[in-house]
Amino acid sequence: MTVEQLNKKLLYLHYMNVLTNKQLLLWLQADPGLERPLNSPPQSINLTPHQNHKLTSYTTSTTFNEITSHMTAAHTSFITLFDEIYPERLLEIYDPPVVLYTKGKTDYLADLNQLAVIGSRKADNYTKKVLQSIIPDLISAGVGIISGMAKGADGIAHELALNGRTIGITGSGFQHQYPASNHSLYQKMEQSQLLLSEYPPYVKPQKHHFPMRNRIIAGCSKGLLITQAEAKSGTMITVDRALEEGRDVFAVPGPAGHPLSEGTNMLIAQGAKCTVCAGDILNEWYL
| Per-residue pLDDT tens over the stretch 45-67 | 999 999 999 999 999 999 999 99
Closest CA to 148 of 83, 80, 241: 241
Reported in sequence order, the residue ranges of the chain that DSSP labels E, i.e. its strands, are 77-80, 99-104, 114-118, 144-147, 166-169, 194-197, 223-226, 248-251, 273-274
DSSP for 25-85? Answer: HHHHHH-TT--S-TTS--GGG---HHHHHHHHHHHHH--HHHHHHHHHHTT-EEEETTSTT
pLDDT, position 1: 78
Task: pLDDT band for 234, please (50, 70, 90 cuts).
Answer: confident
Average pLDDT value for residue range 258-271: 94
Specify the fold of 106-284.
Rossmann fold (3.40.50)
Closest CA to 263 of 63, 87, 119, 84: 119
The structure's pTM equals 0.96
Work out the end-to-end distance of the chain between its first and last CA atoms, rounded to an integer number of angstroms.
42
Residue 265 in 3-state DSSP?
helix
Average pLDDT taken over every residue of the chain? 95
Instruction: Give the whole-number percent of the chain exceeding pLDDT 70.
Output: 100
Interval 176-200: pLDDT, tens: 999 999 999 999 999 999 999 999 9
pLDDT, position 97: 98
pLDDT, position 200: 98
| Nearest-angstrom CA–CA distance, 107 and 217 | 17
